[in-house]
């Protein structure tokens, strides 16, 4: 439908997608104080439990998913309310600027600035400065990982207590990892759309999408470097390769394409590529992956990188999960049990911190 509207000139696919993804306005929550604020000019929504607390609460800074292109405070209202109520935490949901209107690094900068503002003004929200967590799903998981890496080296702010990455997208070098082919046509994220969203975030368009999918956008020597250490099927457990995977050889390198996408190699955009010296400083981590998700292997590879660098990781894998299932745990009368289990696994991790 979006393509039809785009061809007829009525509106773009992205505009149509944003329209159909609008969140329903929810009524008053009897257990939460909810207010919209601005953190360093970034719109946020703050959720605070009404119940009294014996001490300071934990604080969760939440970055929504949507491929850097979709999503809003309203679309993740139900998820944020659930996290705040069930974990008895203060939750700050961040409305970062969206692509393609605002290209990289706009979303990353908004998330970083909102997080820093919160940490510098934490006493206003009754939050323990030693118990602040960044959390996000999909593109939001990418942003949470990038913010966590940036803050790891800061000495002027409290250290993050943890990072929670829910089916995160963490690299754009290799769209031919096993999960990208096993789940290439599985909703809610097709393989082609994963590349489309990454390009929209980086450049504000989807030019050269086919070359990126085929692997023509990375120089051979750079591909060899990253494949040797980090972005390689060899670092994915064999049990995840049994569903018909045929290794594909990258097509020939195209220098002109690389020139347009070379910032894919920046860790603030692709956190899987951060150096070990940064990864070693990261806080305790929770990673959720779904079996039927093109981004599954991004999460598995980052899990290994963190563990290899001495970071404690709690991993939760939804064998029956698909991309986006968390936000569908209770959607318009439909309930996906995997989504509820995934959300509860996050709550249990939070309660154990």
Mean pLDDT of 230-254: 87
The CATH number, out of the four listed (3.40.50.2300, 3.40.50.1820, 1.10.620.20, 3.40.1790.10), of the domain defined by the range 22-351: 3.40.50.1820
What is the average pLDDT value for the chain, to the nearest integer? 93
Q: Is 35 helix (H, G, I), strand (E, B) or coil?
A: strand
Residues that are catalytic: 138, 293, 323
pLDDT class of 11 with cuts at 50, 70, 90: very low
pLDDT class of 19 with cuts at 50, 70, 90: low
pLDDT digits (tens, 9 = 90+) for 151-185: 998 999 999 999 999 999 999 999 999 999 999 99
pLDDT digits (tens, 9 = 90+) for 32-49: 999 999 999 999 999 999
Mean pLDDT of 246-262: 89
Separation between Cα atoms, residue 155 and residue 40, nearest integer Å: 20
Q: For residue 127, with 0-12 CB atoms within 10 Å meaning exposed, 13-18 middle and 19 or more buried, which class applies?
A: buried
- Confidence check: pLDDT of 247 > 90: no
- Confidence check: pLDDT of 7 > 70: no
Closest CA to 245 of 175, 184, 178, 180: 178
Closest CA to 298 of 185, 157, 137, 118: 137
Strands (E), the chain: 32-39, 42-49, 57-63, 90-94, 127-137, 162-166, 284-292, 313-322
């Amino acid at each position: 439908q979006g393509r039809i509207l785009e061809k007829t000139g009525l509106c773009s696919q992205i505009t149509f997608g944003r329209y159909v993804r609008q969140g329903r306005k929810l009524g008053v929550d009897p257990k939460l104080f909810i207010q919209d604020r601005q953190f360093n000019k970034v719109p946020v929504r703050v959720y605070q439990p009404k119940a009294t607390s014996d001490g300071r609460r934990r604080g969760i800074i939440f970055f929504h998913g949507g491929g850097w292109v979709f999503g809003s405070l309203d679309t993740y209202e139900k998820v944020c309310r659930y996290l705040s109520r069930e974990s008895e935490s203060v939750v700050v949901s961040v409305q970062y600027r969206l692509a393609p209107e605002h290209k990289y690094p706009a979303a990353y900068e908004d998330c970083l600035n909102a997080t820093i503002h919160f940490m510098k003004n934490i006493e206003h929200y009754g939050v323990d400065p030693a118990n602040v967590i960044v959390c996000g799903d999909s593109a939001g998981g990418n942003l949470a990982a990038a913010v966590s890496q940036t803050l790891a080296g800061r000495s002027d702010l409290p250290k993050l207590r943890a990072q929670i990455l829910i089916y995160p997208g963490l690299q754009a070098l290799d769209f031919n990892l096993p999960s990208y082919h096993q789940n290439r046509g599985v909703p809610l994220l097709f393989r082609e759309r994963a590349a489309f969203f990454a390009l929209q975030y980086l450049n504000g368009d989807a030019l050269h999408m086919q070359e990126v999918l085929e692997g023509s956008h990375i120089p051979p020597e750079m591909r060899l470097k990253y494949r040797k250490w980090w972005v390689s099927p060899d670092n994915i457990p064999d049990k995840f390769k049994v569903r018909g995977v045929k290794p594909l050889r990258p097509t020939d390198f195209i220098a002109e394409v690389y020139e347009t996408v070379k910032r894919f190699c920046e860790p603030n955009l692709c956190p899987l590529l951060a150096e070990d010296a940064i990864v070693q400083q990261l806080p305790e981590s929770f990673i959720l992956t779904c079996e039927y998700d093109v981004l599954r292997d991004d999460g598995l590879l980052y899990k290994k990188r963190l563990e290899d660098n001495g970071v404690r990781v709690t991993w939760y894998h939804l064998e029956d999960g698909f991309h986006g299932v968390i936000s569908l745990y209770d959607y318009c009368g439909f309930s996906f049990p995997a989504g509820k289990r995934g959300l509860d696994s996050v709550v249990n991790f939070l309660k154990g911190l």
